[in-house]
Amino acid sequence: MWLTIILYTLFLYIIYHLIKFWIIYPWRIQRDFFNQGIPGRYMPIVGDILRYRQAYLADKPFSCVEEANAEFGDYYHTSFGPFPCLNTSDPALIEGVLKTNYRFYHKSELSRAIASTVLGYENIVLAEDENHTRHRRLVSPIFQHQNINSMTSLIVDTISSFLTKWQIKTYDKNYPLILDVSKEMSNLTLNILIGCVFGAEIMEDLNIHETIYQCVKIASTEIENRIYNMIIMIPILNQLPLFGKRRIDKCRHVIKNIVLQMINQRKQGLTRATCKGPNLLDLLLAAHGDDRKQKFTDEEVSDEAITFGKD
């Protein structure tokens, strides 16, 4: 009898929390938005995820945002699955969130769950509070004018080499020029990122290049599937090695090992920057802010390097 009561109570407890997570909590926030006069729409449980999925499948991923802006204006509320969202394109409001009052805002659990699957948590994108301030202080020298300019010639040379390769293919009259534009542009982007972050030696390593390309491609596809199937939003279930998570974790592990290997090689002097000045990896390894004891760990350098690569 007691076992039956305990199981029944546990069942009701789980049902209550599921209802609270999927319906009650989102409804309360949407109600507060309505009471403040913020325009928008609310659909229980699924929210606007079906609209985003249709736009994604139609190869028009931003059409939902454009339609909502046209309907509601510069700011409005929607929901992505059970997660309420306040969307804005008002520069003043964006400045308030990202700059003026940034200490009072945290990344949403949904965005952290999505981004951390590949990037990890120890980077400027996902770090919070004092840790985020520390990352901003250490990373800021990377964006100084002279450091950015030192990478310009490498970017130009990489683009020129791709253009030359395509032009050579057009001269072959025996075979028509057939290019997979998506793959070619992905390879161009990857070459630029690898060259700027790690150096030409890594960029010219076809095995590493192809491994990173395939891992990013597989992980991106699986993450998109988990988002639009709402798996990534369900607590506990999104942590289980199901629905592509095992493949995502494997891809992240492979990329992580490659990056850590590159870091060790650079620290040992086995590789060097191809830019006129230090590349991003050199700057990350040298970053220490005002206190030389506050340097990045190898794990943090790895996460930051992957973050810059993904961006």
Domains of the chain: 2-102 (no CATH), 139-310 (1.10.630.10)
Q: What is the DSSP string of 202-229?
A: HHT-HHHHHHHHHHHHHHHHHHHHHHHT
Q: What is the pLDDT of residue 145?
A: 66
Give the per-residue pLDDT at 276: 65
How much is the average pLDDT of 184-210? 75
User: What per-residue confidence (pLDDT) applies to 53?
Assistant: 83
Structure tokens at 30: 């949407």
Which one, of 181, 161, 195, lies nearest residue 281 by Cα? 195
* pLDDT > 60? residue 153: yes
Q: Over range 180-202, report the average pLDDT.
A: 76
Beta bridge partners of 47: 80
pLDDT tens digits along 97-144 = 877 887 788 777 777 777 777 677 666 667 777 777 777 777 776 666
What sign has the CA pseudo-torsion 52, 55, 61, 62?
negative
Q: What is the mean pLDDT of residues 8-20?
A: 86
Q: How far apart are CA 284 and CA 301, in angstroms?
A: 6
CA separation (Å) from 102 to 87, 131, 246? 16, 13, 34
Mean pLDDT of 195-206: 70
Number of Cβ within a 10 Å radius of residue 299: 13
Q: Is residue 290 scored above 60 in pLDDT?
A: no
| Residue in 130, 199, 188 with CA at minimum distance from that of residue 160 | 188
Tell me the mean pLDDT in the region 184-205: 75
The whole-number pLDDT of residue 39 equals 92
Per cent of the chain over pLDDT 70 is 83
- Minimal CA–CA distance to 106: which of 72, 129, 130? 129
Q: Is the pLDDT of residue 291 over 60?
A: no
- Between the CA of residue 281 and those of 12, 69, 128, 132, 218, what are the distances in Å? 53, 39, 23, 19, 25
Q: Tell me if 74 sits within 8 A of 88, measured CB to CB.
A: yes
Return the minimum-mean-pLDDT range out of 17-21, 102-106, 197-201. Answer: 197-201
**DSSP letters of 140-191?**
GGGGSHHHHHTTHHHHHHHHHHHHHHHHHHHT-TTS-----HHHHHHHHHHH
Confidence of residue 202 (pLDDT cuts 50, 70, 90): low
Q: Which of 153-167, 186-200, 236-250 has the lowest mean pLDDT?
A: 186-200
Query: Residue 250 is inside which H or E element, if any?
Result: helix 245-267
53-99 pLDDT tens trace:
888 888 887 888 888 888 898 889 988 888 888 888 888 888 888 77
Average pLDDT, the chain: 79
Q: How far is CA 219 from the centre of its chain?
A: 11
Name the residue with higher pLDDT: 25 or 240. 25
